[in-house]
Amino acid sequence: MKTIFTIFIFSFFIFNSKAQWVELDPGVNVAYFSDVYAITPDIVVVVGANGTILKTTDGGETWMQKPSGTTLNLGKVQFPTPDIGYITGSNGKLLKTIDGGETWTLMDLGENSDFSGLYCLNEDLIYITSLNTLLKSFDGGNSFITINTNLNYNNPQIQFLDVNLGFTWDPYSYDFILLKTEDGGATWSETGGESPIHFFNEYIGFYYSNGLFKTIDSGITFNQIAEGSGNRLRDIFAINENIVWGIDAGGTLDGDPSTKLVIKIIHSETGSYTENIWYDNNTQIDMNSIYFADETNGYIVGIKNNIGTIWKNSTGINMMSTNEQERNNEIKVYPNPVSNELNIVLDKPTKTKISLIDITGKQIYSNSFHEDQVKINTSAFPKGTYILSVKTENKIFTKKIIIN
């Protein structure tokens, strides 16, 4: 039965309390990030343009770039176990790790088209999609067989519940229909939905199409829980049986193409339904993927101002603070970890004092500038962990820096 819902809109321009979605510093400058997977709340892998693989073990405070063996763009990342993971890429590239993302092996499958979708039922049974095509591996990606060449989507994404039952969609298309297969991907039928889908477990799943739809029978039937505020989402993630998060990249919830938003949907067992929406009308933001490690720790990746961007939520509350976000935007530090040269970029030329302090509290570097970009030669500094302090006329910015 449909229920009445309440919408709470948290404006990017109004709230000044502690931020819930915080923009992280990835320590690299790349064109975009395409996907994120949280092995635990603190251990997270992000992939993106030019073969970029980043891993954090401290919840995003610092990021380590891992060699990928390719400069081609990477698309999706998934870990069926904490140690074994896969990444899809352009021009038929598949990467595999067996040590939790520390090292990656590049597997060239002889395909020419770009791999777009990835889903691992376990460490051996893997599904991959490319343009119109579904591939399946039974041996951990060593070999694949073609299941279907008529998916009719440019960027098909997938989720399978077992070896036969699965779903596919294209989040970048505005005229797609959510499709279901019951024979391992050989044939597909329409479900009626027009949104990405995510299953919390083998029985309970959700999609958003002018409101939230829920299935409790593995997708045999879908029931609309409540009428919502718009059409569909770019990506969706269910963290339990009653709470769903989603991102939208083009105004499908409010009709304004410049709108980018994060939505949290709560449906209680009593039937109440709430949509908490954070809006941002920055046309330079494009969010690609959302993933929650648990009910309070989530990550979003995408692009902002032509630079790959990572956002983190560690409270489970859907809100953004102008003050904290502005501070994050004003100062960028990369790369981190650093070997030879640390770049510090401010949004405008500012009188600034920059210091580096080691873990014993000893100041090993200090200098003053009046520029918008500063380069510090770190090659002569001992390897280790430091605190970077950037002091302007009215603010102090601190960040942990690793020199290796």
Asked if 350 and 289 sit in the same domain, the reply is no
Is the whole-model pTM more than 0.85? no
Is the preceding omega at residue 257 within 30 degrees of 0, hence cis?
no
366 in the same domain as 239: no
Q: What CATH number corresponds to the domain at position 353?
A: 2.60.40.3080
Q: Which of 329, 345, 360 is the last residue in one of the domains?
A: 329
pLDDT at 31: 96
pLDDT of residue 210: 77
Same domain, 139 and 214: yes
Q: Rounded distance, CA 138 to CA 390, Å?
A: 52
- Residuewise pLDDT in 10s, the chain (404 residues): 444 444 443 333 333 334 588 899 898 999 999 999 999 999 999 999 999 999 999 999 899 999 999 999 999 999 999 999 999 999 989 999 999 999 999 987 777 788 999 999 999 999 999 888 999 999 999 999 999 988 888 889 999 999 999 999 988 776 778 999 999 999 999 887 778 999 999 999 999 887 889 999 999 999 988 776 666 788 999 999 999 999 986 655 555 666 678 888 888 777 777 877 776 667 788 899 999 999 999 999 999 989 999 999 998 887 654 444 444 456 788 888 899 999 998 878 888 889 898 877 678 999 999 888 999 999 999 998 888 888 877 666 777 788 98
Size of the chain in residues: 404
pLDDT at 394: 64
Is there a single domain that holds both residue 82 and residue 140?
A: yes
Helix (H) or strand (E) holding 44: strand 44-48
- Report the chain's terminal Cα–Cα distance, integer Å: 58
What is Dmax (Cα atoms) for the chain? 67
Residues 319 and 387 in one domain: no
Q: Which pair of tokens denotes residue 81?
A: 């176990």
CATH number for 142: 2.130.10.10
| Amino acid (1-letter code) at residue 237 | F
**Count of other CB atoms within 10 angstroms of residue 255:** 9
Whole-angstrom Cα distance, residue 212 to residue 6?
A: 13
Measured CA angle at 325 (ends 35, 233), to 5 deg? 40
Phi first, then psi: give them for residue 99, nearest 5 degrees.
Answer: -130, 35
113 and 23 inside one domain: yes
Tell whether 296 and 365 lie within a shared domain. Answer: no
Q: Could you tell me if 293 and 397 lie in one domain?
A: no
Domain that holds residue 248: 5-329
* Closest residue by Cα to residue 66 from 123, 19, 104: 104
Q: How many CA atoms lie within 13 A of 197 on its CB side?
A: 32
Which of these three, 307, 329, 351, is where a domain ends? 329
Rounded to an integer, what distance in angstroms lies between the CA atom of residue 222 and that of residue 209? 11
List phi, psi (to 5°) of 234: -75, -40
- Is residue 325 domain-shared with residue 355, that is, in the same domain? no
Domain boundary among 277, 301, 329: 329
Q: Do 324 and 239 belong together in one domain?
A: yes
Q: How many folded domains does the chain comprise? A: 2
Residues 299 and 350 in one domain: no
